[in-house]
Amino acid sequence: MPTIKDVARAAGVSIATVSYVLNNKTGMVSETTREHVLEVAQRLGYRPNINARNLQASRTGLIGYAWHKAPGGEPSPVLDQFIYHLAHAAEQQDYHVLTFTHPGDNPIRVYEDLIRSRRVDGFVLAETETNDPRVRFLIDENFPFVTFGRTANDWEYCWVDTDGRDGAKQAVEHLIQQGHERIGFLGWSYAALTGDDRLQGYLEAMENAGLPVDKDYIARTDYKTETIESVLAQWKPHNLTAAFVVSDYDAISLMRGLERNKMPPMAVVGFDDAPVSKFTRPGLTTLRQPLREISTALIKMLHERIQNKDCIPQNKLFKPELIIRESSLIPPNAPAPR
């Protein structure tokens, strides 16, 4: 790898002269020398040392992104795709993505270390929680960051999110169009704005169509066999014929639970368009998040924030797209399997 020294030696000039030329300081060297040095630098394949350049500019050109949950936990099909789009969007703005892992119990320390050691210019956070301590910490530090997802409070910071309320409305309206009237909502057992938002959309669509919602229609699960069994027991007296489910994995669990119990199939819509959705039988109708657009918006916001730490926080919601496969086309009067 040629250094500035090598260029100076090959060009027969001082290191200072090479430095003047490469840093575009005009008036210090003659035009002939300038051209000669540039030609030699190019011939040798010289590139400036990014570390040196960043030191000058106080810029690392890196954006930190914490790798999501460890494998073996819940699968994160959407985030796997998200990080690809994020890396790609970052490169369009001349950044690279530094991925890191952090322990579940105290993520703050890792963020703090990366800031203190000036490793990154900013962060992108995903899997945000209600009152997320990482968000609180980064607001207090006034360090540039953006989040994919919200934290369910009135903190002011930059976020981009999928409009889960709109997605739920699309799903339920689609089920109503197929002739369904008794439609269940299957959400997560833990409190998250993402889930609440989707519940709101479900309730709105039902209300707009003049369909009553018994409190038992709203069930909670975590795609474990046992909880699905109790969901089915909760729904049984109501003869529900369709359900909107907040994630594809939970939707698949529901379909399997019905089959296992030899109950009539329900029309089902999931959320995420996980790769698995194409492989289920029947293929799963679901809502796809526009991850490319979300990533581009996040990087744009973050870049502005890095340029000016005091710019006004922006927020943006993207509508998901309903992908219709077979699972939602099951009619209200489908017979139970023998």
Query: Which positions lie near its own copies, rule CB under 8 A?
Result: 1, 45, 47-52, 54-55, 60, 62, 67, 70-71, 75, 77, 80-81, 83-85, 87-88, 91, 96-101, 115-119, 249, 252, 256, 275-276, 279-281, 291
Residue 114 Cβ, how far from its own copies at the closest point, in Å? 8
Q: Which is nearer to its own copies, 16 or 52 (CB)?
A: 52
Q: Which is nearer to its own copies, 78 or 232 (CB)?
A: 78
Residue 73 Cβ, how far from its own copies at the closest point, in Å? 10
Quote the CA–CA distance of 84 and 155 in Å, as a whole number.
28
Quote the CA–CA distance of 114 and 100 in Å, as a whole number.
10
Q: Which is nearer to its own copies, 67 or 137 (CB)?
A: 67
Quote the CA–CA distance of 79 and 272 in Å, as a whole number.
10
Residue 260 Cβ, how far from its own copies at the closest point, in Å? 10
Residue 272 Cβ, how far from its own copies at the closest point, in Å? 12
Residue 291 Cβ, how far from its own copies at the closest point, in Å? 8
DSSP one-letter string for 306-327: HH-TTSPP-EEEE--EEE--ST
Strand ranges, E, within the chain: 62-66, 96-100, 122-125, 145-148, 158-162, 183-188, 218-221, 242-245, 267-269, 286-288, 315-318, 321-323
Q: Which is nearer to its own copies, 6 or 173 (CB)?
A: 6
Query: Is the sign of the CA dihedral 127, 130, 134, 138 positive or negative?
Result: positive
